[in-house]
Each structure stands twice: as C-alpha cells, then as structure tokens.
Amino acid sequence: MIRETEFLVLGSGIAGLSFALKVAEFGKVILISKTSLEESNTKYAQGGIAAVTYEPDNIKKHVEDTLIAGDGLCNREIVEMVVKEAPAQIQQLIDWGVSFDRNEKGAYDLGREGGHSEYRVLHHKDKTGEEIQNSLVKRVKEHRNIEILENHFAVDLITQHHLGKLVKRNQKNTDCYGSYILDLQTDQVNTFLSKITLIATGGTGNLYESTTNPKIATGDGIAMVYRAKGVIENMEFMQFHPTSLYNPGEKPSFLITEALRGFGAILKTTKGEEFMQKYHKKGCLAPRDIVARAIDYEMKISGDDYVHLDCSHLNAKKLKDHFPNIYNKCLSLNINITKDPIPVVPAAHYMCGGIKVDKNGCSAINRLYAIGEVSSTGLHGANRLASNSLSEAVVYADRAAKDAIKKIVHQEINKNIPEWDSQGTTYPEEMIMITQNYKEMQQIMSNYVGIVRSNLRLERALRRLEIIYKETEELYERSILSQKLCELRNLINVGYLILKMAQGLHESRGLHYTIDYPKKGSVSEF
Ligand code: FAD
Ligand code: SIN
C-alpha cells in the first residue's frame, strides 16, 4: 500500500505531538507511533521543564548553568537561543491545556535540580510528563488534519538509494521522500510518501540492562538516519540518571526525581554517611554526571548494591504533597519515604547525542527534520542540564514547524518510489535468536560501556558487538520483519556508534569518563 501526505511525523512524544499541532493548519499530517499514542519517554518525565520565569533568575544564569553542565561542548549560540525561546513555548503548552503547579501566591511553584543555580523548573507534582503527554494527545486527537496511526513501526527512511542511486554520507543532495512503515497488525510494510518527514522517535535507554526509559526507547530514529547516510554526533554522551529506585527486576527502573534533592533530600551511604561534598561543592545538587559517578564509586568501594536517598528530615506533609507519585510507589514496596531511606542506583536515562541538526531542526538530509531526544542540537554538549530536554523539544518543534511550513510549497511528492520488497523472507524459526542477542547486547553495553570506561573495555565491547551485529544482519536479510528484530538491529547500530565515538575521544569529558584518559583536553577523532 502507498500513502501520501504533506507532513509525515514519526513519534508521538512531546516533540512529535507539538510539531504535528503546529503544522497541521498548513497541510495534512500523518502521525506514526509504534505502540499507543500515549507511550513515550515524555509520559514518564517527573522533575519538569526548565525556563526562566521570575527574578532573581535570568537568561544569563540559565545559559551559564547549561554551559557548565555541558562541560565545554555546548554550542553557546544554541544555548542562548533555546533559553531565550523556552518561556514562550512553555506558554504555548499552557495554551494547549498543560497545567503547571502554582504556589499560594499564584506564582509558578518552581523546583530546582542538579546543576541549576536557581529555582526554575515548572512542574505538575512529580508527574509533569504525564500531564504534558495527555494534554497534547487530547489536542492532536481533536485535530481533523491529523491522522493518527498507532502500532505502526517506522523501519527505514526513503531516499535516492531506493531509486537505485548511490547515496554517500556528507553529500549535500540526499533527499528524504518518506518512510517504509511496518503495520504491526498486518505485518505489511507500507510506503508512506511525504513532502516533509520529521523524526521524533526519542531515546536509546534500552541499550542498557537498567534504564528509566520505557520499552519504546530503542534508538530507531538514530539508526534509520545513520543507515540513510545522515550525520550522527556526540553518541558517547549517554546520560545515567543518578537516582533510580533500586528494585531488582523492575523494568523500566522507576525514577526518583532530582527535584527531590532540590527539595532537600540527601544522598548517603547505607551506613548513613553523606558523601557528595567530597566530590563537588554543590553536594547533592552537583551536575548529573558527577553525582552518578560519585554514586558508582561509593558503591564499588562499599560493595553495596545501592546508596540511600534520605528524606526523613523533610516536612512530611509537603513531601507527600509535592511528590505523590514517588511516595505511593515507594509505599507499595513498604518504603515510607517520610521515615525510611530510599535505595537508589544510577540507570541509563538520556542520549545527549543523536542526529545532527541545525538551528531549525534540519538534518543533513533534505526534507528531513529531527527534534527532541533523537536529535543533537548543540544544547547539551557533554552532559545535559536537568529538565532542559522538554524545553529543547518545544523550542525545536516551533522552529522546525516554521521552517517546514516555509519550505513545503517548493516540495513535490516523489511518485517513483518502489514498494518494500520482502520476497524470499520467512518468519524467523526461533525467537530465541532475537531475545538472546538483545540480552547479550544489553550486558555488553552495561558492563563495558557504562559510567566508567577504559580502552580495554571498549575494545572488548566492540569485538562482541560485531558478532551479534553479523548474526542479526543475517537474520534480518532472511526474515519477515518484526518489531523486536528491527529494534534489536537499531540498538546494535546505536551501540556501535556509541563505541566508535567513545573510542575516538581521548579524554574524559562530561558523561564520557575513561580511566585511560582521566583528564579533559583532547579531541574527538571519529
Ligand atoms: P519520546 O517522548 O520518547 O517519544 C518518542 C516517540 O516515538 C514515542 O511515541 C515512540 O513510540 C515513537 N517511536 C519510537 N520509535 C519509533 C518507530 N520506529 N516507529 C514509530 N514510532 C516510534 N526531561 C526533562 O526535561 N524533564 C524531566 O523532568 C524529565 N524526566 C524524565 C523522566 C524519565 C523517567 C525519563 C525516561 C525521561 C525524562 N526526561 C526529562 C527526558 C525527557 O522526558 C525526554 O527526553 C523527552 O520526553 C523526549 O521526548 P521526545 O518527544 O523526543 O521522545
Ligand atoms: C528528573 O526528574 O530527575 C529527571 C529530569 C530530567 O531528566 O531532566
């Protein structure tokens, strides 16, 4: 089957939904989501969305905090642009129906997180993401120019390659004509042709055994663009959140928001000793990379499986009122956070790198935009400042929409694209070929490419990943496509990019820490 549309939007988190709402007045939108419209990383966001609202905060302070967290690799021009434009886009969210908590004076009740020098995080209790996701989904469902296709999995982008032409990375004239999309109900791969395609497929947390990301975060967009010969950057900067709830076997790991530390919670060893002041003058509110490394180190020294986050000294009523989600979750595990310490461990959380884009979200491939977690804009550098990703997503949704609306008048749908060829493929005989390789990949990445790295670990990881890469490619060639197989293939692809970029960086910087080059100050060679 062939479908045509003006705007093809892949992904239904904050980035895809916001873009869809902005362009829908200017042309037909098909919005693709691989599970339900509601499921996304966005839905699980807790802390909130960072923006300057009141004095004593100001743009300069938010810019400086972002640059410091990014450890010298942020693009200052982009940081200034996002910080300046975020308040207007947050107002847009409010206009779409998102509600942020206010205090008794009617002003926004601002939270604080690691690396922020001021209270500047707008939130909805500790369920900010759910509030945003639900409000935007409601709006999108009401829009008659947006067609929603759930349980549809984007497999590959369509370029000149599918017309039999040679496409090379870094060439300027590669065009995106749409995407091949697997209908998960019929197992058919259909051809979606578009004037403009937007990738907003989110993160890559499932590369690791332990992650705060839901199952959908499998790096599909990054892998698709890499295969289509687009440009990917900064993949070595995988962010581990310092505090996920230690509850072995639970997937995804439940997040214990950094805003809890902003509210006064303190990290302690299981013996009850505070330790963060040893590592940074901001203590528990140091930038995230530093806190995660400190916890990792303390756990290795003590041999403990977790450290503690202590809230017992905080006002119990206010604590329950501000963090009902965390309070109830912990209580379901017999942890009363007003009295008992919360066992926490770091978990894979956010991909700072991704598809390289310009200030309007344009990728290196014409007619292809990438926004949200899947993109690399220059805002985060080597380590993202907490709660900056939701702001980045809405600022770029606005910029990409404005740019796409201007350009769409010059685009035609390419009608010469061949349909997906699945001749000679069969259903894989044994699912174990996929599930075992998935587990092995997660073990390789967790054990060798985690918070602390070394040349030896990276070499080992690459050798092992190459074996499962070959096996998976062979299986892919002869198989009728399934979501799990495509996701495994994409994750291996993303793991490879992380490894190659990590190997090319001969220094420790931000989220990339290697014992072979413990200092900052070399260059990337990838
Ligand atoms: P997502 O919200 O992940 O949406 C991706 C969409 O793409 C999904 O709909 C998915 O189904 C779809 N998709 C993926 N692959 C395919 C495919 N192949 N075909 C079709 N559809 C596909 N950031 C903050 O700024 N503040 C916070 O407080 C905060 N808290 C967080 C808490 C948690 C637990 C997590 C996991 C993240 C948090 N983050 C936070 C990060 C932030 O939530 C994400 O970076 C952001 O929501 C990403 O939005 P997105 O639209 O780019 O992607
Ligand atoms: C959190 O609430 O701690 C997560 C915030 C973020 O990832 O930006």
Assess whether 379 and 505 both reside in one domain. Answer: no
239 lines ligand 1 (CB under 6 A): no
DSSP 8-state code for residue 420: P
Q: Does a structural domain hold residue 423? A: no
Of 347, 379, 401, the residue that ends a domain is 347
Task: Report the alpha-carbon distance of residue 321 to residue 278 in Å, rounded.
Answer: 32
401 lines ligand 2 (CB under 6 A): no
Assess whether 9 and 119 both reside in one domain. Answer: yes
15 lines ligand 1 (CB under 6 A): yes
Q: Does a structural domain hold residue 417? A: no
How many angstroms does the Cα of residue 47 sit away from the middle of ligand 2?
A: 5
Question: Nearest 5°: phi and psi at 222?
Answer: -65, -45
Q: Which of 195, 125, 235, 253 is nearest to 413 (CA)?
A: 195
Q: With 0-12 CB in 10 A as exposed, 13-18 as middle and 19+ as buried, what is 333?
A: middle
The CATH number for 212's domain is 3.50.50.60
pTM value is: 0.97
Give the β-pairing of 354-356 and 375-376. Answer: parallel
6 lines ligand 1 (CB under 6 A): no
The CATH number for 335's domain is 3.90.700.10
Task: Report the alpha-carbon distance of residue 476 to residue 189 in Å, rounded.
Answer: 14
* Residue to mutate, 17, 18, 40, 227, ligand 1, most ligand atoms under 8 Å from C-beta: 40
Q: Does a structural domain hold residue 520? A: no
Assess whether 232 and 247 both reside in one domain. Answer: no
How many angstroms does the Cα of residue 205 sit away from the middle of ligand 1?
A: 10
* DSSP labels, 99-134: ---B-TTSSB--B--TT-SS--EE-STT-HHHHHHH
The owner of tokens 């993401």 is 129
Give the nearest ligand 1 atom to 213 CA. 36
Assess whether 171 and 30 both reside in one domain. Answer: yes
Q: Does a structural domain hold residue 458? A: yes
Q: Does a structural domain hold residue 524? A: no
Residues sharing a CB contact under 8 Å with residue 218, sequence separation 6 or more, in sequence order: 204, 206, 487, 490, 491
Query: What per-residue confidence (pLDDT) applies to 114?
Result: 92
Assess whether 300 and 337 both reside in one domain. Answer: yes
Q: Does a structural domain hold residue 343? A: yes
Which numbered ligand comes closest to the C-alpha of 374? 1
Assess whether 298 and 331 both reside in one domain. Answer: yes
Assess whether 339 and 356 both reside in one domain. Answer: no
Residue nearest to atom 39 of ligand 1 (CA): 45
Between CA 269 and CA 275, with CA 274 as vertex, the angle to 5 degrees is: 85
Assess whether 390 and 475 both reside in one domain. Answer: no
Q: Which of 40, 18, 237, 234 is nearest to 140 (CA)?
A: 18
Assess whether 368 and 280 both reside in one domain. Answer: no
- Domain extent at residue 322: 243-347
* Residue to mutate, 241, 256, 511, ligand 2, most ligand atoms under 8 Å from C-beta: 241
Residue nearest to atom 29 of ligand 1 (CA): 45
Query: What per-residue confidence (pLDDT) applies to 520?
Result: 85
Task: Report the alpha-carbon distance of residue 284 to residue 310 in Å, rounded.
Answer: 11
Of 299, 321, 347, the residue that ends a domain is 347
Query: Exposure string (b/e) for 298-314, b if CB count within 10 Å is 16 or more?
Result: bbeeeebebbbbbbeeb
Q: Does a structural domain hold residue 176? A: yes
114 lines ligand 1 (CB under 6 A): no
Q: Which segments of 263-383 does DSSP mark as H helices, in order?
A: 288-302, 316-322, 324-332
The CATH number for 489's domain is 1.20.58.100
Query: What per-residue confidence (pLDDT) applies to 523?
Result: 52
- Based on the residue annotation, tell me whether 3 is a catalytic residue of this protein: no
Supply 146's token pair: 């947006």
390 lines ligand 2 (CB under 6 A): no
pLDDT tens across the length of the chain (526 residues): 999 999 999 999 999 999 999 999 999 999 999 999 999 999 999 999 999 999 999 999 999 999 999 999 999 999 999 999 999 999 999 999 999 999 999 999 999 999 999 999 999 999 999 999 999 999 999 999 999 999 999 999 999 999 999 999 989 999 999 999 999 999 999 999 999 999 999 999 999 999 999 999 999 999 999 999 999 999 999 999 999 999 999 999 999 999 999 999 999 999 999 999 999 999 999 999 999 999 999 999 999 999 999 999 999 999 999 999 999 999 999 999 999 999 999 999 999 999 999 999 999 999 999 999 999 999 999 999 999 999 999 999 999 999 999 999 999 999 999 999 988 888 877 888 899 999 999 999 999 999 999 999 999 999 999 999 999 999 999 999 999 999 999 999 999 999 999 999 999 999 999 999 998 875 544 4
Number of domains forming the structure of the chain: 3
Assess whether 249 and 230 both reside in one domain. Answer: no
**How far lies 221's CA from each of 63, 65, 197, 375, in Å?**
28, 29, 12, 9
213 lines ligand 2 (CB under 6 A): no
Contact 219, 268 (CB under 8 A): no
Task: Report the alpha-carbon distance of residue 365 to residue 259 in Å, rounded.
Answer: 38
Q: Does a structural domain hold residue 277? A: yes
Assess whether 227 and 253 both reside in one domain. Answer: no
Rg of the chain over CA atoms, in angstroms? 22
Contact 172, 150 (CB under 8 A): no
Assess whether 67 and 141 both reside in one domain. Answer: yes
Catalytic, out of 112, 120, 139, 288: 288
* DSSP labels, 174-228: -B--EEEEEETTTTEEEEEEEEEEEE-----GGGSSSBSS-TT-S-HHHHHHHHT
